[in-house]
Amino acid sequence: MKAATWNVNSVKARLPNLLEWLDGFQPDVAMLQETKTVDENFPRLEIEERGYKILAHGQKSYNGVAILSKHEIEDPLIGLPGDDSDEQARYVEGTISGIRFASIYLPNGNPVATEKFPYKLGWMNRLKVRAEQLLQGEGPVVLAGDYNVVPMDEDVHDPAGWADDALCQPESRAAYRSILNLGYADAYRIYNTAPHRYSFWDYQGGAWQNDHGVRIDHLLLSPQAADRLKASGIDSGPRGKPKASDHTPVWIELAA
């Protein structure tokens, strides 16, 4: 089974690129973030024509997550539990072929000196609670998405230049590690140890052309999922396409 996560930065604006990637990479499961559309306007027809089921949780112009699957999506969960007042569309979860998948768009948190950073940390705490609950089922779990966290300095092209950013704050990194410490594994790092490999490059300042990026898109695996991991990587091809998202897909392959 091939699965991938991709912040598409508007599913409608990137639809030609998304469809080209689906046709070429042929993921069994694709977890999308920043779809930026309400559910009734999600481009279902074009995606369903390629054999995918769709579980979407969107809102107008902002946020939005989805799971695309070639197999049935069972027991869907819409929204991250723990705060009924949170209306931002950042989390969706479902079971596919016995594996629990989540598509996650974690808050950015910038500027740090505003209410956005405490919201980010609070959201991460709720995610940790949910991640721990999922481990109790003792089945394979894949928590995938745009975490808006740079785990270590080796995951950013210019650690000093990014030191004040919410993505690199000690509190953000500690919250991310606390999820790993529950027993989850960073799928990319299991097979890829070289530093300075990225999944996001800003549109400004020639970041893509100069490989000035950060690694913020992650697939975290429960022990049962990690035991089935055969390969993982970053597919940088879509980032070089015309009208590309500023993110690129990160993928895994799991044994049946």
Q: Evaluate if residue 68 carries a pLDDT over 90.
A: yes
The band of 191, judged by pLDDT with boundaries at 50, 70 and 90, is very high
pLDDT tens readout for residues 125-172:
999 999 999 999 999 999 999 999 999 999 999 999 999 999 999 999
**Per-residue confidence (pLDDT) for residue 203, from 0 to 100:** 97
Q: Evaluate if residue 256 carries a pLDDT over 90.
A: no
CB of 17 within 8 A of CB of 245? Answer: yes
Q: What is the mean pLDDT of residues 78-98?
A: 97
CB of 57 within 8 A of CB of 79? Answer: yes
Three-state helix/strand/coil letters over the chain: CEEEEEECCCCCCCHHHHHHHHHHHCCCEEEEECCCCCHHHCCHHHHHCCCCEEEEECCCCCCCEEEEECCCCEEEEECCCCCCCCCCCCEEEEEECCEEEEEEECCCCCCCCCCHHHHHHHHHHHHHHHHHHHHCCCCCEEEEEECCCCCCHHHECCCCCCCCCHHHCHHHHHHHHHHHCCCCEEHHHHHCCCCCCCCEECCCCCCCCCCCEECCEEEEECHHHHCCEEEEEECCHHHHCCCCCCECCEEEEECC
What is the biggest distance separating any 2 CA atoms in the chain, rounded to whole angstroms? 46
**Per-residue confidence (pLDDT) for residue 39, from 0 to 100:** 97
This prediction has a pTM of 0.97
CATH homologous superfamily for 2-254? Endonuclease/exonuclease/phosphatase (3.60.10.10)
The band of 66, judged by pLDDT with boundaries at 50, 70 and 90, is very high
pLDDT tens readout for residues 102-124:
999 999 999 999 999 999 999 99
**Per-residue confidence (pLDDT) for residue 41, from 0 to 100:** 97
Mean pLDDT rounded to a whole number for the chain: 98
Percent of the chain with pLDDT over 70: 100
Q: What is the mean pLDDT of residues 71-87?
A: 97
